[in-house]
A and B are shown apart, each in its own frame.
Chain A
Amino acid sequence: MYEIEELEKKWKRYRLKKIFKKFTYLIFTASAILIISLILYEFSNTKKMVVANVEIDKKEPKNEEIPKKENVTNVEKKVLKEDKNKTIIQDKEIKKIEEEPKVVVLKPSTDFLTRIENLEKKQQTNKIKENRHIKKEKVEENSKKNKQNETIKKPKIVIEKRDNSNIINELIKKFERTKDPKIAIFLSRIYYKDKHYKKALEWAVIANELDNSNANSWILFAKSSVKLGKKEEAIKALETFLSKHKSYKTKRLLDEIKNGEFK
């Protein structure tokens, strides 16, 4: 029967078409899945990048503060730069040695850092200089209170020997990223407490370069200088600061240095 053979040929054509359809369907589905997964992958990447950018953007305004604060008086600059040059050159060799050894310190409260960030945000909103000074005085007083609190709570603090270099390294990294003068002050304070006065002096200078209106950088600079036997430099620096700003704390330190109460 010719008819059946003809039918078989038709059937073969039909099978070929069916296979071709299945094949195209498979390719289409596979490519669709591939495209969708690629889009999703790209989307997740961009999302991560956006989050990272947002974090960076939050920190960027701190960097902008640097050029603003470069408008300092020549007198102040001169005094500090002289000191800085001296101390930095002297300390270059010491730096290498001092970065490595393990330091025995009190475990620093990380709350302090968050407090600094909060205060910093407040400072950014204040445009009027006078207001800023008043607030900074308050901050100093608060930090003083905090310090007092810390000293009151001292018996509760477990003093332990531990490798503090990690925290310091973290702080340095953070500072490099944010150029936050508060971190420089904090580092200076840590070094001062650890009796690494040269380091403390160096960080006080760095903090002062970024924000010369902060009394703490001047105080730490003066204290470290005294400890390094540079009493006159300390007095000169504090007097320079007091000629521009009013700070009870700075005045008292200046008196103590002059009287020889602070050695």
Chain B
Amino acid sequence: MEKKSHYSKAKECFIDTEDAKKFIELDQSVYFLEKLKQTVKKPLKMILLYGEPGIGKSILLNRLYLELLKSNSNVHLFLSPILDEDNFTKTLYRKIFSRDENIDFNQFVDLVNKELSFNSTLILLDEAQLYSNSQMEKIRILSDTRKIKFVVSLHKTEQEDLIAKGHFQTRIWETIELKPPSMNELETYIKKKLLGKNLFNLANQFHKKHIKFIYKYTKGNYRETNKFLYHLFEIYEYYEKNKPSKINFSRISKKYLEMSAIKLGYIDV
């Protein structure tokens, strides 16, 4: 089997994922994780987590799920929304009660009231902006039982819409806004990702000016940064294979950074 080059390994580092194991502990992300952990302990009906797309909400929910799962088995994560209403009720029923029967929403609510204890179950809903109004209404009814608590994650733009819906206004007791990382945090993020694959040499080749260049276009958005670096190492991979003489192995080339930015449409040629 052909041994993978450093650049191929680096490229794989930046494949966009929501895998909690790939959660990079930055100052800000650690802070938000801890804050979420503290918040879910409070007797709240609903917690709202919002921020720009690609800011790390999904991976944070994922990480929170893994952390809480260690101490509480009644935590359930829904990374993609269940758009069918019947299916939504069934999935919730199956997840919470570990049973696989046909049940309507009213029966499910009765069951929740009868069988669950106060504040015992936590549901984490990602991409909540995709849920319909009637689904959101059902979520509201379930949160009113005080037996199930919801952490709802959605894009920043939808936050106002959701809060504007009167029945949520009173139920959302805590809102957490995720903000983009600083340039230093982005540097740490990139380097930690590379170091996670033992690519020390590559991690050391990134200097402030390179980070500044990437930050200028990605604005610290993790998803955009991942895309940027994926393409950068893809370009490197190509040159290493086809024109290795063109590669300076001691430092990151500005040319390839610019080529990556052109490919992603950040630079208009």
Contact = CB atoms under 8 A, between A and B. Distances in A.
A65 to B, nearest CB: 77
B3 to A, nearest CB: 20
Nearest to A4: B238
A128 interface: no
A154 interface: no
A15 B235 CA distance: 17
Majority secondary structure of chain A interface residues (helix, strand, loop or mixed) = helix
A59 interface: no
Contacts of A195: none
Majority secondary structure of chain B interface residues (helix, strand, loop or mixed) = helix
B239 to A, nearest CB: 8
Contacts of B255: 11
Given A10-B269, A13-B269, A17-B269, A4 B262 contact: no
Interface in A1-60: 1, 4, 7-8, 10-11, 13-15, 17
B259 A8 contact: yes
B181 to A, nearest CB: 28
A13 B259 CA distance: 11
B141 interface: no
A1 B238 contact: yes
Contacts of B238: 1, 4
Contact of A4 (B235, B258, B267, B269): B235
Nearest to B238: A4
Interface string B249-269: 000000100110011000101
A4 B267 CA distance: 16
Contacts of A11: 255, 258-259, 262, 269
Contacts of A10: 259, 262, 269
Contacts of A1: 238, 242
B263 A7 contact: yes
B50 to A, nearest CB: 36
B266 to A, nearest CB: 11
Interface string B220-256: 0000000000000001001100100000000000010
Contacts of B263: 7
Given A7-B259, A7-B262, A8-B259, A14 B235 contact: no
Interface in B112-132: none
Contacts of B235: 4, 7
Contacts of A4: 235, 238-239, 259
A68 B238 CA distance: 99
Contacts of A13: 269
A19 to B, nearest CB: 13
A4 to B, nearest CB: 4
A14 B262 CA distance: 9
B86 to A, nearest CB: 45
Interface of A: 1, 4, 7-8, 10-11, 13-15, 17
Given A4-B235, A8-B259, A11-B269, 11 more contacts: A1-B242, A4-B238, A4-B239, A7-B235, A7-B262, A10-B259, A10-B269, A14-B262, A14-B269, A15-B258, A17-B269
Report the 8 A-B pairs with minimum CB-CB distance, sorted nearest first: A4-B238, A10-B269, A14-B269, A11-B259, A7-B259, A10-B262, A1-B238, A13-B269
